[in-house]
Amino acid sequence: MTVKQLASGLGMDVAKLMASMAEAGDAASTEEERVPLDTAELMALEYNHIPTVDKTSRAPDLDAEPRSAVVTVMGHVDHGKTTLLDALRSTAVAAGEAGGITQHIGAFEVVMPGSKTALTFLDTPGHAAFSAMRARGAAVTDIAVVVVAADDGVMPQTKEALRHAKSAGVPVVIGLTKCDAPGADTQKCINQLLAEGLPLEEAGGDIQVVELAAAKGKGLAELEEALHLQAEMMELKASKSCDAEGLVVEAKVDRTQGPAATVVVKRGTLRAGQYVVIGTEHGRVRALRDAAGKPLKHAGPGQPAEIIGLRGVPHAGDELMVVSSEERARLVSQARTNKAVEFRHAQSHESILEASSASD
């Protein structure tokens, strides 16, 4: 976006905007000069606009490369979500360094033997994470695994999960869990799902069904394969080269490290040492860690990473923005804090940066 476009979006005089930018330490010499996103945001906030960036109208990155799919597991209470995630996580640990202790950071990566791209599983309670993100208009999930316990069948929260996914436009893979349990009846579950109007593969549709007995490690490879297939069809791609954009999936205070936030990078590369603003919080990325607690130098598109070094604890669904300096990080988070309530609702509203970012 240029200075001129920003001024017009803010409904203000170009000269006045240039003066304000200069005052903020971001002088532009011509009105055709491009305005960095954080400067645009500071100006918008100063002049009483709540900025949002419409990523859907953005031109595709020319250097986009295939990225990992981000997967959420949802389903009825007790239908085996945690058992499934634990089983998947242990395959990730087994495949990684021996003795790696997994900690709970809200997301983890699984790389299938022989596969180039990983799968990232969100490890937060599916519904909660999904709703928090959705309410903010922020979509972190690419694919939803909706589990149905084979010994129990389709239940109210199964239907709710299916509705959630549908309204978010997120494709579903069905995991029939507890196939080893007494009374398991997979055909009955399939019939129930068909009765719900779900276009399953066996009926000529495109929703895959995978039979699982996660407690015994059965069906995990098939599930990962189904997810890779789904991801391939979606042609998930992102640029690695730009500044990172990402979303918080979980945040907490670590006893020894202070505030810690797990983000999933959606675009670009996040690097240790960078300054970031996340929601109304900010800080320097003192360290990045994976789910095994191993330090990462950087995290790319689709990858989860825990950030250490924030001044406070952000919220699930908050977006991450990389800025050039500590001072800038402080300024943006301060400006957002002053408008915190409005800012948190901003994502669903139209705004000034939206139209202009299309030409960016």
Q: Which residues bind ligand GTP (CB under 6 A)?
A: 77-83, 177-178, 180-181, 213-215
Taking the complex as a whole, the smallest distance from the CB of residue 73 to Mg ion amounts, in Å, to 9
For the chain, the distance separating the N- and C-terminal CA atoms, rounded to the nearest angstrom, is: 5
Taking the complex as a whole, the smallest distance from the CB of residue 344 to Mg ion amounts, in Å, to 28
E strand or H helix at 195: helix 186-195
Phi and psi at 74, nearest 5°, equal: -130, 165
The span from the CA of 108 to the CA of 142, in Å, is: 15
Stretch that binds Mg ion, among 4-12, 62-70, 76-84, 139-147 (CB under 5 A): 76-84
SS3 217: coil
For Mg ion, the binding residue among 82, 325, 338, 348 (CB under 5 A) is: 82
Taking the complex as a whole, the smallest distance from the CB of residue 150 to ligand GTP amounts, in Å, to 9
Counting residues that bind Mg ion (by CB under 5 A) gives 2
- Amino acid, single-letter form, for residue 113: P
Taking the complex as a whole, the smallest distance from the CB of residue 76 to Mg ion amounts, in Å, to 11
Q: Does 104 bind Mg ion (CB under 5 A)?
A: no
The span from the CA of 220 to the CA of 353, in Å, is: 43
Task: Give me 13's structure tokens.
Answer: 């005089």
Identify which of residues 220 and 285 has a Cβ nearer to ligand GTP in the complex.
220
SS3 178: coil
Nearest to 17 by CA among 358, 356, 350: 356
- Amino acid, single-letter form, for residue 360: D
Identify which of residues 217 and 295 has a Cβ nearer to ligand GTP in the complex.
217
**Partner touching 317 among Mg ion, ligand GTP, none, CB below 5 to 8 Å by kind:** none
**Partner touching 180 among ligand GTP, Mg ion, none, CB below 5 to 8 Å by kind:** ligand GTP
Which positions lie near Mg ion, rule CB under 5 A?
Answer: 81-82
